[in-house]
Structure 1
Amino acid sequence: MTASHDAVWAALSGVVDPELDRPVTELGFVKSVRVDPAVVVELRLPTYFCAPNFAWLMVADARDALAALPGVTDPRVLLLDHFAADEINAAGSFSTAFAADGLDPDLTELRRIFERKAHVAAQERLARQVAPQLSDPAALVALTLAEAARLAPAAAAGVARRRARLGLVTDLALCDGSGAPLAPDALPVWLRFARTVRVSIDGNASLCRGLLRTRYQSR
């Protein structure tokens, strides 16, 4: 007995673009889902020349999410309309796909770079929402995530979700990349930096949606 179409879609909704931190289902990357009885999913990306490492991450993560479903064995995830689609669809690891020594087979470090950026952006969204509710904006450095959750629950949940993926453990609403507190005198500079990261990610998300719509509007 295989998984239902709804179960497959739900599993794919847990696959996120690691930089934009949005599900592939929301971004429009899933072209089709077939359950008959084998599970076959087709993915498409905004451009023919999307970076092959990013494309491989999307295919590999979707395949892993589907393989974890009860009743699903050997799911097929096919990348469409991409210059490296044949290599990516056939390979079990990134280094195998591109036959290069020294490559991280699962792109672990690249994924962490993306996720660290998403964490910074999530903290900036949280800071923007809670700062106007504090008597002193400098209190942000001592604010706990639990206290922030009472002021901006959705934004705080986003921070917690990203920290869980990075393995960061801290009670603070804001922290540096290692989980350590921010110095009060460094807060203004950190907030400006975090804003540039968040604006970049939000802009990339809008660009991806626009390119995808333009590319496939007639299909």
Structure 2
Amino acid sequence: MTTRADSAMRALDVVIDPELDEPITDLDFVQSLTVSEDRDVVVHLRLPTSFCAPNFAYLMASDAKDVLTGLPWTRNVTVELDDHHDSPIINAGLAADAGYRGTFAHEAENDLEELRTTFQRKAHVAAMERCLTALLKRDPSRRMEDMGTVVLGDLPDDETTRALLSRRRSLGLEEAPGSIVMVDHTGACYAQLDVPLALRRARSTRISIDGNAHFCRGLLRTRYDDPDRTTVDA
């Protein structure tokens, strides 16, 4: 039988670290989650370092609060970021529902939605590269130049393809089986001559994202003695 605490943890699976393109639950950023008898939820988040970018930190904490508040059974939701140099500012802003600009005032130069969109585009590029590279490995007879003609229906029904479809959905791109896989964030296709270079650039983006995620996991393990342990209380 699923408890409310379990339900809340599963809800947090949709909260993504924008830079690493992974759920905060998979990254072990959820320090603890408590649900009271009165259906109040308290979540504590932690990050690999005390100096992680404040905008990324706020975005994840704010998304976590929004997701939990959206559950039909929650009453009051409190999300706090621990051990960050801007924890007092971020936690006060979240408690007051002040929004990013209201929390950081003149320091908030750019809107968070612009930041979110930038990293959604990078995540799409990385997911696209993973699918096409896997296809090349499975079928060595395919040429890199021909990757620009691959359609979604050519991809296997696996986790990698589902991840690509999710990234396309976030950008409003087509998901029909006949849709070209290799497109930019506007849905525009690449000329055959440009495909190899575009795919190599996409690979660089994917390697950067994967490398950052690996590095952050190492930092988290160094910072905390139990990085894989989340305290969940109902």
TM-score by length of 2: 0.86
Number of residue equivalences = 214
Name the residue aligned to 2:103: 97
Structure 1 residues 133-172: aligned runs within 5 Å:
133=139, 135-137=141-143, 138-149=145-156, 153-169=158-174, 171-172=179-180
Letter aligned with residue 63 of structure 1: K
Contact 1:24 1:30 in 2 (8 A): yes
Shift of 1:135: 3.4
Shift of 1:80: 0.2
Q: What do the CA deviations read for 1:49-95 (whole angstroms, capped 9, x no partner)?
A: 11100000010010011011111133100000011111111213111
Contact 2:100 2:108 in 1 (8 A): no
Name the residue aligned to 1:79: 81
Shift of 1:155: 1.7
Partner Cα separation in structure 2 for residue 101 and residue 128 of structure 1? 41
Q: What do the CA deviations read for 1:102-130 (whole angstroms, capped 9, x no partner)?
A: 7455x000001111111101111011111
SS in 1 for 2:102: helix
Shift of 1:99: 1.4
Shift of 1:97: 1.0
Partner Cα separation in structure 2 for residue 49 and residue 42 of structure 1? 17
Name the residue aligned to 2:49: 47
Shift of 1:169: 2.5
Name the residue aligned to 2:230: none
Q: 1:197 to 1:56 in 2, by over 3 A?
A: same
Q: 1:116 to 1:51 in 2, by over 3 A?
A: same
- 5+ unaligned residues in a row in structure 2: which ranges? 228-234
Contact 1:149 1:157 in 2 (8 A): no
Contact 1:31 1:43 in 2 (8 A): yes
Contact 1:130 1:148 in 2 (8 A): yes
Contact 1:42 1:78 in 2 (8 A): yes
Letter aligned with residue 47 of structure 1: T
Partner Cα separation in structure 2 for residue 166 and residue 143 of structure 1? 19
SS in 1 for 2:71: coil
Partner Cα separation in structure 2 for residue 135 and residue 194 of structure 1? 21
Q: 1:101 to 1:46 in 2, by over 3 A?
A: closer
Letter aligned with residue 140 of structure 1: M
Identity over the aligned pairs, expressed in percent?
Answer: 44
Letter aligned with residue 59 of structure 2: L
Q: Which has the higher contact order (CA 8 A, sep 6+)?
A: 2
Q: 1:172 to 1:149 in 2, by over 3 A?
A: farther
Name the residue aligned to 1:197: 205
- 5+ unaligned residues in a row in structure 1: which ranges? none
Name the residue aligned to 1:22: 22
Structure 1 residues 2-41: aligned runs within 5 Å:
4-37=4-37, 38-41=40-43
Letter aligned with residue 117 of structure 2: R
